[in-house]
Every structure is written in structure tokens, then in C-alpha cells.
């Protein structure tokens, strides 16, 4: 998967492991060292980028999005889904907190970033800063 | 670019679970599900009175998921639609699967299939499978011999 364009980069170490190879070391995160790296999509639109992350089990109340310097991080705390005292019989997915971070370039308008959660999917709108929008420059003869 | 890749990633926890499963093989009514990587991923719990099955289905609305039971077979099917108006070439990164899926699970005969109930919250489908009366733990009173 190639990422071109200057607007956003995905932080090194945040990529998921390929199907064949062993998992990459998890993103260091002091709050939750065994956090799950959620899958994401990033797509380009006329006004900026949209980032969507699958966070099944997460709600607005337990989701923390932080922007520090140029690092945007998302962290969701997950409560175990099973009733108290239930015994796990069969496991295909691990239940745990989600964590992933991204490096934003200057072309994202940080003041206008918006987020919404719906059906376990986080959608982050990263509008392009005005000066980064394509402008037509008249050439005078 | 198409996002229809349902195969899971290598997961050391799953490997561990599989090892544990081998040890507990005789005790586990969902044993036939092991070693198969399908979509959606499910977890199964024993909650005493019943089994609880949870499936990760982010991005689905309750009406996108269909659930049916025939005899001892639970069938889940659904579709995760591609977002409208987003062109394939506008993706810079695509890790989330999309498309139609279906999964069939054979329930242990100890489930009372008439009482199965399901709910959908925050992208997680939860199916409650009550145990049949005969499979519930019974308390046997011990009386003092005379």
C-alpha cells in the first residue's frame, strides 16, 4: 500500500503485520502496553482527508483523541463484554484497549479536525489548511 | 484496490488459545470452530445459564446483519457496504474489510434454540444462547443419612 501526498503520514511502527510474518512490536504506549492496533482507512477528498478506524466496542465516552505537536493519537478503553464470571470458551479476537498514532503534516487544519463514533467506527475529518488547497495562479502575458 | 480480505493476521494470542484448546478439547462444545479463521471473528463465553457469543462487526447497522437459527445451526450473514461517493483511487490506505459475508456455526445440542436472543451495540453483535434445562448445573442437596 503506498502513501503519497504530503498531508498525512502513518507513524512508523503503526503498520499491522502482514499475514505471513510475525507481528511488529506494538506501539509503545505507557498507558496500555498490550493495546490493539486497529485497522484504518484513509481517503482523500476535495476538502481534506477522512480517516476511519474500526474500534468495535468503543464509545464516545471511552475514546480519547489527542493532538500533541504533530502526533495525533487515538486511545479507546474497552470494558470486557462478557458478564462477570463468564468463562472464555473460544477466542478469535482479543478484547483490549485500542491505540494508534499518526503524524500529521502542516497541511492539516488542526483547529477544524472533527470526530464522530458510529457503530464502532471512528471517523476523523482532517480538513486541508487553506494555504494547502490547490490554487490557480494566473499567468499574465 | 479491493478491501475484501477477511483473513486474520498472525496473532500469538490466538496460537496460545489454540494450544489451550487442544488441552481442553474434551470439554469444549465449540471445538469444531477452532483452527478456522473466518469473518466475523467471534468469541464464545460460558456464562453459567447460557453461552454468550460475541462477534466484531464494526461499521454495520443492526439492519445490515441477518441472524437465523435452523435446528442446531446458527447462520449470520450481512454486508459491510463501501462508503458512497469515495473513489477507489482516493484511498491512501485501506485496511478495513468490506463486502458480503456469511458464517455458519453449529450450536452444541445443549442450547435451547427457541430462547436465543441477540443485540447489537457499538459494532459488536451479542447472541445469548441459553442452555437447555437438562444442561444447566443442578444443585443436589445432600441429606444426612439416618
Residues of chain B contacting residue A86, judged by C-beta atoms under 8 Å apart: 45-48, 52
In A40-132, beta strands by DSSP E: 40-45, 48-54, 63-68, 71-76, 87-91, 98-104, 114-118, 121-127
pLDDT at A49: 92
Q: Is residue A137 assigned to a domain?
A: no
pLDDT at B47: 87
- Chain B contact for A34, CB < 8 A? no
pLDDT at A121: 96
Instruction: Give the closest residue to A108 by CA, choosing from A3, A2, A4, A8.
Output: A8
Q: Complex ipTM above 0.90?
A: no
pLDDT at B84: 81
Residues of chain A contacting residue B46, judged by C-beta atoms under 8 Å apart: 86-87, 89
Nearest-angstrom CA–CA distance, B115 and B51:
12
Q: Do the beta carbons of residue A56 and residue A46 sit within 8 Å?
A: no
Q: Give the count of domains, chain A.
A: 1
**Chain B: nearest CA to A48, how far in angstroms?**
11
What burial class does residue B91 get, using C-beta atoms within 10 Å of its C-beta: 0-12 exposed, 13-18 middle, 19+ buried? middle
Residues of chain B contacting residue A121, judged by C-beta atoms under 8 Å apart: 58-59, 123
Q: What is the CATH number of the domain that holds A44?
A: 2.60.40.790
Domain that holds residue A116: 27-80+93-132
Q: Is residue A140 assigned to a domain?
A: no
pLDDT at B11: 56
**Chain A: nearest CA to B86, how far in angstroms?**
8
- Chain B contact for A46, CB < 8 A? no
**Chain B: nearest CA to A138, how far in angstroms?**
28
For B17-55, how does the pLDDT look when each residue is reduced to its tens digit (9 = 90+)? Answer: 555 555 555 555 555 555 556 899 999 998 888 889 999
- Chain A contact for B63, CB < 8 A? no
Per-residue pLDDT of chain A (141 residues; tens, 9 = 90+): 333 344 444 443 333 333 333 333 344 444 555 789 999 999 988 889 999 999 999 999 999 999 988 899 999 999 876 677 888 888 899 999 999 999 988 888 988 999 999 999 999 999 988 765 666 777 887
- Cis peptide bond N-terminal to B40, omega within 30: yes
Enumerate the β-bridge partners of residue B101. Answer: B78
> Between A1, A23, A57, which is nearest B123 by CB?
A57
Placement of cell 445459564 in the chain: B49
**What's the mean per-residue pLDDT of chain B?**
79
pTM (two decimals)? 0.71
For A31-43, how does the pLDDT look when each residue is reduced to its tens digit (9 = 90+)? Answer: 555 789 999 999 9
Determine the distance from the C-alpha atom of residue B71 to the mean position of all C-alpha atoms in its chain, rounded to a whole number. 17
pLDDT at B85: 81
Which of A 119-138 lie inside 8 A of B, CB atoms? Answer: 119-121
**Inter-chain contact B56–A22, Cβ cutoff 8 Å?**
no
Which CATH architecture does the domain made up of B12-84+94-134 adopt? Sandwich (2.60)
B68 backbone φψ class: left, alpha, beta (φ>0; ψ -120 to 50): beta
Q: Is residue A87 assigned to a domain?
A: no
- Chain A contact for B25, CB < 8 A? no
Q: Which residue of A has its CA nearest to B120?
A: A119
Output the nine-digit C-alpha cell for B140: 443436589
Q: Is residue A9 assigned to a domain?
A: no
For B103-135, how does the pLDDT look when each residue is reduced to its tens digit (9 = 90+)? Answer: 998 877 678 888 899 999 999 999 999 988 776
Distances in Å between the Cα of A45 and the Cα atoms of B43, B78, B87 are 37, 28, 9
Output the nine-digit C-alpha cell for A135: 490554487
**Inter-chain contact B57–A120, Cβ cutoff 8 Å?**
yes
**Chain B: nearest CA to A45, how far in angstroms?**
7
List the strands of the sheet with B124-130, edge to edge: A87-91, B42-46, B50-56, B124-130, B117-121
Q: Do the beta carbons of residue A98 and residue A55 sit within 8 Å?
A: yes
**Contacts (Cβ under 8 Å, ≥6 apart) of B10:** A17, A19, A20, A21, A22, A23
Amino acid at each position: 500500500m503506498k502513501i503519497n501526498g504530503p498531508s498525512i503520514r502513518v507513524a512508523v511502527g503503526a503498520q499491522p503485520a502482514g499475514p505471513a510474518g510475525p507481528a511488529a512490536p506494538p506501539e509503545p504506549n505507557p498507558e496500555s502496553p498490550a493495546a490493539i492496533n486497529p485497522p484504518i482507512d484513509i481517503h482523500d477528498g476535495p476538502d481534506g482527508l477522512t480517516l476511519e478506524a474500526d474500534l468495535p466496542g468503543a464509545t464516545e465516552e471511552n475514546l480519547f483523541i489527542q493532538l500533541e505537536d504533530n502526533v495525533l493519537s487515538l486511545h479507546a478503553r474497552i470494558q470486557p463484554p462478557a458478564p462477570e464470571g463468564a468463562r472464555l470458551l473460544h477466542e478469535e479476537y482479543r478484547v483490549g484497549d485500542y491505540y494508534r498514532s499518526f503524524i500529521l503534516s502542516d497541511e492539516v487544519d488542526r483547529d477544524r479536525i472533527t470526530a464522530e463514533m458510529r457503530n464502532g467506527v471512528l471517523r476523523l475529518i482532517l480538513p486541508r489548511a487553506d494555504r494547502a488547497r490547490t490554487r490557480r495562479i494566473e499567468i499574465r502575458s | 484496490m479491493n478491501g475484501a480480505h477477511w483473513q486474520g493476521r498472525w496473532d500469538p494470542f490466538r496460537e496460545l488459545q489454540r494450544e489451550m484448546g487442544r488441552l481442553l478439547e474434551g470439554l469444549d462444545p465449540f471445538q469444531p470452530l477452532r483452527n478456522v479463521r473466518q469473518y466475523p471473528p467471534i468469541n464464545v463465553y460460558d456464562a453459567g445459564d447460557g453461552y454468550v457469543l460475541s462477534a466484531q462487526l464494526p461499521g454495520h447497522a443492526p439492519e445490515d446483519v441477518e441472524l437465523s437459527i435452523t435446528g442446531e445451526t446458527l447462520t449470520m450473514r450481512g454486508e459491510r457496504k463501501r462508503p458512497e461517493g469515495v473513489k477507489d483511487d482516493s484511498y491512501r490506505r485501506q485496511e478495513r474489510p468490506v463486502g458480503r459475508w456469511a458464517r455458519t456455526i453449529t450450536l452444541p445440542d445443549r442450547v435451547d434454540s427457541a430462547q436465543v436472543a441477540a443485540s447489537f451495540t457499538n459494532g459488536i453483535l451479542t447472541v445469548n444462547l441459553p442452555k437447555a434445562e437438562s444442561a444447566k448445573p443442578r444443585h443436589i442437596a445432600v441429606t444426612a443419612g439416618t
